Amino acid sequence: MNNTQIIVTLVGLMMIGLIVWYFWLWKGDSINARRAAGGDVLEIDVTVKGGYQPATIVAKTGQLLRLNFTRREASLCGEEVVLPDFGKRAHLPQDKTVPVEVTPEKPGEYEFTCGMNMYRGKLIIE
Ligand SMILES: [Cu+2]
């Protein structure tokens, strides 16, 4: 290989590494929502921009959660959010806040993703 081929190969490998990290390894910010005031709806604002912020939400079993999704990007990737475990999906127009309510009844991890399964977030219910 000449120098150009080596550089091209290295850049390619770096790009692959970056993509793997971005889509599979990066966990994003986490929010711990356990200290909610008793009983009522727990509101959590989730920004959709290159992923979910926060991407991890920790909450208690039986807590009614209202996830206020706001898509802050023109990219259509995050246009739809899917919560397969709850049979919910929502269309997210840009810069509009769309609430999605769920009440996880069992401890565990519940994923939410974009319609293409690229953006990922999860609820950790304890
Ligand atoms: Cu997507």
Length, in residues, of the chain: 126
The mean of the pLDDT values for the chain is: 88
Distance 120 CA to ligand 1 centre (A): 9
What's the domain range around 44?
28-125
The total number of structural domains in the chain stands at 1
Distance 75 CA to ligand 1 centre (A): 9
Share of the chain above pLDDT 90, in %: 67
Residue 121 domain flag: yes
Distance 114 CA to ligand 1 centre (A): 5
pLDDT at residue 10 tops 90: no
Q: What is the mean pLDDT of residues 79-91?
A: 97
Return the pLDDT at 27. Answer: 60
Instruction: Give the whole-angstrom CA distance, residue 114 versus residue 18.
Output: 20
Residue 12 domain flag: no
Instruction: Give the whole-angstrom CA distance, residue 26 versus residue 95.
Output: 24
